[in-house]
Amino acid sequence: MQETISEAAHHRDSDAAKANGRNPLNLLILGGILLIAAIAIGTSFTIVSFRQRAMLNSERELQNTVLLLTRHFDRELGYIDAVQRDLIEHMKLTGLATPEAFKRQISREDAHVTLQTLVSGASGTARINIFDADGQLINSSTSWPVLPVTIADRDYFKRFKSDPSSPEVVVSLVHSRFARGWAAVIARKIVAPDGTLLGVVSRGVSPASFETFFESLALGDGAAISLLHRDGTMLARYPHIEQMIGQNFSAAPVQKLLRQTDHGSIRVQSPVDGQDRLASARMLSQFPLSVIATVKVSTALADWREQTRSLVGAAGLSALVIALTLFLIVRKLSAQHQDAERRLALEKERLDTAVNNMSQGLLLYDENARIVLFNQRYLDMYGLSRDVVKPGLHFCDLLAYRKRIGSFKGDAEAFCERTLRNVAAKKATHNIIETPDGREIEIGNQPLKSGGWVATQEDITERRRAERQITHLAHYDALTDLPNRVLFREQLEHELERIRRSGEQLAMLYIDIDEFKSVNDSLGHPVGDELLKAVAGRLRGCVRDTDFVAGSAATNSPSCRPASPAPAMPWSWSSASTTRSASPINASDTTSPATPASASRWRRMTAPISTSS
């Protein structure tokens, strides 16, 4: 099916829309998607930021906790160690230099009273025990007489006894021999001036004492606080897990961290309960102990999860509102668009029907003089091929093509240049051209403000022929085809004006047909009409090119007005016309002589007409 003008326009608009990517609905949908994506991305960044903040807050809380605990235990254990140091200094003042003398002096009851005085006001668990060089208990701050207890098998005592260079104070976790359960022992060796081991003074603290203090801090569910020896042995833990007390965790990540620095934070997989935990650890400044506080990552992020749920809910609700609003808008616009498309399709169908059934050929050119669209009528007017004439063809190339196939008459290049010049000047033009086959085409070119022009072409051959016929009928008798009175008068006025200027003369003859009425009455009007036409034809045959014959069938008065420079000429022409008119005329198979009974009668003017007449 051939492309119509509306289809060409539609394809052009569609291509432009696709090229520009400006479909309003697509832009609206894209904007909605981008808005929802922005909400999702913003929510994601906020959630990540809140998570990092929650982790940092938990880490900071753990760091503050272990700092508080280390300072507290440094102070408390320092107090215990200070009592031991004071006791040792008191013993040295007595001049004790041998293990035997040390044992005799310290094993007395008055020494027991002194010990009680030293620990008065302290916790009942912070007992002071003194052992001799063999590891036997010789005095205590809690009981008298003393119990038969030995520490000879303790590792720290063996180290004191065998290694003179061993540290003066040792902290060790042992099973208490004074009470059930574990005890953290702070043992300090007592040596003579020559370095001989005289004995050991120790003080034990139950892990429950540490754990009670840990509990008072209340870090919340999932939190744990532990006290460990430098070698990784766990001394106390809250929440308490009996199986963990005394175990060595030297291979744990936190212990590895403390071997490199005195404090720090780390995220670990707990070796105690296997939970993912955030841990903060710090060494005591005066003792080989460390405090480690941990919290489950899930607990640290509990508030964050609540915030996340709120944020996700708000973001989801916002996205849902936007999506629903966008859906309603798109549906409304789609319905309007579909309705507009239907109306546009209907209008295009009407336009297509109107344009392709109009009598004029129609073309639209762009600013580069290339065809944008055309109708079928234009192709039919000149017998053009659609394979050649199509959008994009240049105006001059179209004229050259028409010249080749013989549908253009004249200089195609000159016509093209003239048309383009008029269009460039924004000048509307209307021309009538003749085609090689004799048709007359009226061409109208109307420039457009945006560039290019609209060309209409109409075949006016029949109209011009009808106009000429109407003009002819207005000046000539319909029956005899002789000029009528109007033309006769115009011609006469023209000739009178001419002879007035030139000084020439004019002769006018009036011719009447005698007995014409009897011909109509006896033979009928058709025969009378034929008679008039025959007489008019014979009169036309008698005149020269410079003469003029006029007549009226309505008045039966044909007239002849020959112009001649000689006065005798009208008489010679009158005789000739009389002779020719007198011959028989065959009308409806009946011979009716025009003479002598009905011979033409000529009336002669009294004198030749002059310019003053």
Spell out where 88-181 has E strands: 128-132, 137-140, 169-175
> CB–CB of 148/131 below 8 Å?
no
Output the CA angle 75-77-78, nearest 5 degrees: 60
> CB–CB of 450/434 below 8 Å?
no
Q: What is the pLDDT of residue 348?
A: 82
Element (H, E) at 321: helix 302-356
Q: What is the pLDDT of residues 514-555, one digit of tens each?
A: 777 777 788 888 887 787 778 777 777 777 777 777 776 554
DSSP state of 31: H
| Rounded Cα distance, 457 and 480, in Å | 38
> CB–CB of 374/65 below 8 Å?
no
Burial 110-142 (b: 16+ CB within 10 A, else e): ebbebbeebbeebeebbbbbbbbbebbbbbbbb
Tell me the CA distances in angstroms from 513 to 191, 337, 438, one per residue in order: 183, 82, 42
Q: What is the pLDDT of residue 520?
A: 78
Q: What is the pLDDT of residue 397?
A: 92
DSSP state of 3: P
> CB–CB of 190/200 below 8 Å?
yes
Element (H, E) at 78: helix 24-93
Burial 538-568 (b: 16+ CB within 10 A, else e): bbeebeeeebbbbbbbeebebbbbbbbeeee
Architecture of domain 53-300: 2-Layer Sandwich (3.30)
Where does 147-222 have alpha helices with state H? 155-162, 207-217
Task: Find the helix packing angle between 485-502 and 461-475, rounded to 10°.
Answer: 80
Spell out where 58-168 has E strands: 128-132, 137-140
| Rounded Cα distance, 519 and 226, in Å | 153
Q: Residues of the chain whose pLDDT is less than 50? A: 1-11, 16-21, 123-125, 555-568, 571, 588-613
Q: Of how many residues is the chain composed?
A: 613
Q: Is 443 exposed, middle or buried (0-12, 13-18, 19+ CB in 10 A)?
A: middle
pTM value > 0.85? no
Fold of the domain spanning 476-603: Alpha-Beta Plaits (3.30.70)
Nearest to 141 by CA among 176, 178, 172: 178
Q: What is the pLDDT of residue 240?
A: 86
Q: Do domains 361-466 and 476-603 have the same CATH topology?
A: no
Q: What is the 3-state secondary structure (H, E, C) of 516-547?
A: HHHHHHHHCHHHHHHHHHHHHHHHHCCCCCCC
Q: What is the pLDDT of residue 507?
A: 78
| Rounded Cα distance, 330 and 339, in Å | 14
> CB–CB of 222/281 below 8 Å?
no
Domain ranges, ordered by start, for the chain: 53-300, 361-466, 476-603
| Rounded Cα distance, 520 and 526, in Å | 8
Q: What is the pLDDT of residue 518?
A: 79
Q: What is the pLDDT of residue 443?
A: 92
CA 148 to chain CA mean position, Å: 92
Tokens in use for 71?
């300072």
DSSP notation for 344-402: HHHHHHHHHHHHHTSSSEEEEE-TTSBEEEE-HHHHHHHT--TTTS-TT-BHHHHHHHH
Q: What is the pLDDT of residue 428?
A: 92
AA identity, residue 275: Q
Q: At 343, give phi and psi (nearest 5°).
A: -65, -40
Tell me the CA distances in angstroms from 538 to 208, 476, 496, 533, 558, one per residue in order: 157, 17, 26, 9, 11
| Rounded Cα distance, 77 and 82, in Å | 8
| Rounded Cα distance, 251 and 231, in Å | 10
Architecture of domain 361-466: 2-Layer Sandwich (3.30)
- The CA-to-CA distance between both ends of the chain, in Å, stands at 74
| Rounded Cα distance, 571 and 561, in Å | 12
Output the CA angle 367-344-352, nearest 5 degrees: 65
Give the Cβ contact number of residue 22 at 10 Å. 10
Q: Is 594 exposed, middle or buried (0-12, 13-18, 19+ CB in 10 A)?
A: buried
User: Please, what sign has the CA dihedral across residues 214, 217, 223, 228?
Assistant: negative
| Rounded Cα distance, 196 and 133, in Å | 9
